[in-house]
Structure 1
């Protein structure tokens, strides 16, 4: 028995070590960004008002929905593909990415008008259109970035992210100080977009070597349709509270009150989940290639998966608890006293981060074993549950509930605090159930277990 242990340890070190290094690089990148972002948030919190924050939340939500449609499975398919089909797949995916991003730019520009009408704010039209200009640059390096991820060279992605985040943060701060309002949240992402192609072109030698082709499009669509569905549902969940708060939280005699409350909620959400979400995203970027690399051996896949969960547990839980417990101290000091009403939202949303990365890891596990449709089914169920919970929370007055007690105990901003409570409850109840189910599905218990 002793002779087996060194072999097992070598295998563990090979796969777990690579995963931890990748998570480490991406986490360092995100932490550097968040440290910069902390200073940036301090500046824009003092130079932007709640209305600007509200407009920014809507613009970023629109952009996030657009970018979700860009994720039609191109990256996941390239990462998961066998070596012999890779070159043809990359050439075809390159042209598909151009079609997708150009279409998104046109659709977002057209959608700006009904969105502005829905929120009764004409000031949204031009920023929404301008924010889509970056879509016309990103296809240049989409394939290179994905190949780097496939090769597990996530250090390069970390460097690219850091360069973009640093430059973008500096530009945002400058524009905010200059009094550019919501434009300080829109223009930097466009100005820094050429950095990505410059970095990835130097780091990855792949270049398109065919004319326009649709050869592998059906293959990509077939693989990616479930992933796209999951991404859309996840994006809807991540932004549904923004959409509802901005439109349905109203106060008689106060024009655009919903957008002002959305600004407060958006600040609280980002202050509460910003750093945690960065670490979660870093882990998610590393998990899929990590699991795909060992998916042919169930025992190694199981070891790698549970090793990933241990990394998540050791990283996320202590950080979230520390951050939420100190919110009463750092929010007024760092961001200013005008954001004190957002402290309950910061705490509630921060705590909702704990189950998220475990469920995300379970989703990546299903994709790695070729079962993305099961992830899609779960996301349909969870999105329905999430939507119903948030709708009930934001519409309590219309449901005949006596809200005077809530107003007394939670204060003037009780409506958005109730929304934050709803977000926390739906995450801590249902995400652990999915994580447990997906894990048991892929690794069913046996008598030996």
Structure 2
């Protein structure tokens, strides 16, 4: 009887969930749960690494991972977004073209990252980073196997699959990082797990979607994909530059030791917030694309996303930043006390970021990514100027500059995009 009642309760809960929840909320819940799980495992990993690794190790890892970020951004070239956005009648042909384009792009990225390792090592005056940069490049040799499948899973709003794969990847990566740190691998504890868990993404997406490429090599729609993707790529390049520019400047002008402290503050502070925001954003883009021909519904979904961000993100950031002086020395150790004010400033800079990202996704869905590209050019330029000025007051000045530029510029952009969405009369 108890089993019957339990089974009936579960069925009722599932039915109510399906009836009362929108696809956006269900997808956001899956991704949010995945990100929460990932954050918990990563938090434990950061605690262990902070106690086992030195700031210099963190600095070296930051240089390696930052270099990889700049190369990896070319995998966010708009091919994925085009497969999510394209009309159903054209999807089959676009998938075939995207498959071969992905192999071409990733093959070139492998070569580029290996070659760029040498000038990067020269720029930072440390040859220890050459080998790990080249090792990370090996990921590009397997990614194209299932990039199309991953995009189709997102298009079909089956983001619970993406959440499961991502959660499994990060759990295993966290375990490997802790093990390698205990074994004395230094910066490799933060680098090598990324390579070792890459097959999980490939195999997982390949299994969970039945699309398979034909043996015919074709790039029939490459011009349409590139035309759409070049703007997206430009935006992603500028985002990546902006997200890593402070690391580049700190590492070059303030040294690897200072970079290690700054990188720790970022990972212990803002990454938690951005991961929650990422769950919302990944669910939001297909949600908005699905309503792009219905003005009233589009506005409703966009406004709802802003409200969700306000309710979830803002309290989380305020709580985390206010408690930083208490939990940092207890959890991470007293050697990171110097990072507390940097952590607080960077954490607070996360408040306007997800609102601006939601605004960007809304105009992507409306086929106006070039507007977002123009904005990103402007914002990246003033961000670079602010961070450069901030270096005159060491890493605390850099963190203050990051906060100031985000809380002044991003709300203006979000407001202007929102006003456009609600004043627009025709799609």
| TM-score using structure 2 length | 0.94
Structure 1 contact 94–143 (Cα < 8 Å) conserved: yes
Q: Which residue of 2 aligns with 1:411?
A: none
Are residues 1:261 and 2:258 paired? yes
In the alignment, which of 170, 175, 195 is matched to residue 200 of structure 2?
195
Aligned residue in 1 for 2:8: none
Q: Paired residue for 1:319, among 299, 305, 316?
A: 316
SS where residue 443 of structure 1 aligns? helix
CA distance in 2, matches of 1:210, 1:441: 45
Equivalence for 1:440:
419
Aligned equivalents of 1:348, 1:16: Cα separation in 2: 36
1:75 aligns with 2:80: yes
Gap regions ≥5 residues in structure 1: 1-12, 250-257, 397-413
Unmatched segments (≥5 aa) in structure 2? 1-17
* Alignment deviations for residues 337-380 of structure 1 (CA, whole Å, 9 cap, x no partner): 10010000110011011000000000000100000000000001
- 1:427: which partner in 2? 406
Name 1:305's counterpart in structure 2: 302
Deviates more, 1:319-328 or 1:60-69: 60-69
Per-residue deviation, 1:161: 0.3
> Quick one: distance in 2 between partners of 1:197 and 1:242?
30
Cα separation, 1, equivalents of 2:108 and 2:389:
35
Match of 2:247 among 222, 238, 242: 242
**Aligned counterpart in structure 2 of residue 97 of structure 1, from 80, 93, 102:** 102
1:36-115 to structure 2, matched below 5 A, reads 36-115=41-120
What is the distance in 2 between the residues matched to 1:342 and 1:202? 43
Q: 1:370 to 1:200 in 2, by over 3 A?
A: same
Residue 131 of structure 1: aligned partner: 136
Q: Do the aligned partners of 1:15 and 1:304 also contact (CA within 8 Å) in 2?
A: no
What is the deviation of 1:442?
2.4
Partner of 1:292: 289
Mapped partners of 2:71, 2:281: distance in 1: 20
Q: CA separation in 1, counterparts of 2:21 and 2:241? A: 33
Displacement of 1:14: 7.8
**How far 1:15 moved relative to its partner?**
10
1:163-206: per-residue Cα shift (whole Å, max 9, x none)?
10001100011000100001111111111111112211221100
Note the C-alpha offset of 1:47: 1.2
Alignment deviations for residues 197-225 of structure 1 (CA, whole Å, 9 cap, x no partner)? 22112211000014222211111110011
Q: Aligned-residue CA RMSD in angstroms?
A: 1.3
Q: Report the Cα distance in structure 2 between the residues aligned to 1:21 and 1:345, rounded to whole angstroms.
A: 35
**How has the CA–CA distance of structure 1 residues 365 and 140 changed in structure 2, closer, same or farther, with 3 Å as cutoff?**
same
Distance 2:56 2:322 in 1: 28
Q: Is residue 31 of structure 1 aligned with residue 36 of structure 2? A: yes
CA contact (8 A) 1:16 1:304 kept: no
Partners of 1:237 and 1:20 in 2: CA distance:
30
- 3-state DSSP class of the match of 1:52? helix
Matched, 1:282 2:279: yes
In 1, distance between residues paired with 2:23 and 2:316?
23
**Cα pair 1:16 1:307 within 8 Å, conserved:** no
Q: Pick from 202, 215, 233: which aligns with 1:228?
A: 233
Matches of 2:179 and 2:421, distance apart in 1: 50
**In the alignment, structure 1 residue 166 sits paired with structure 2 residue 145:** no
Instruction: Please name the residue that 1:399 is paired with.
Output: none
Contact persistence 2:96–2:219 (CA under 8 A): no
Kindly indicate whether the alpha-carbon contact (under 8 Å) linking 1:348 and 1:420 is maintained by their aligned counterparts in 2.
yes
Q: CA deviation at 1:36?
A: 0.7
For normalisation by structure 1, the TM-score amounts to 0.89
How many residue pairs end up in the alignment?
408
Q: Per-residue deviation at 1:17?
A: 2.0
Distance in 1 (CA, whole Å) between partners of 2:118 and 2:207 is 39
Determine if contact 1:54/1:263 at 8 Å carries over to the other structure. yes
d(CA) in 1 for partners of 2:23, 2:318: 27
Q: Of residues 367, 383, 402 in structure 2, which corresponds to 1:386?
A: 383
Counterpart secondary structure, 1:194: helix
- Structure 1 CA distance for aligned equivalents of residues 324 and 23 of structure 2: 34
Structure holding more helix per residue? 2
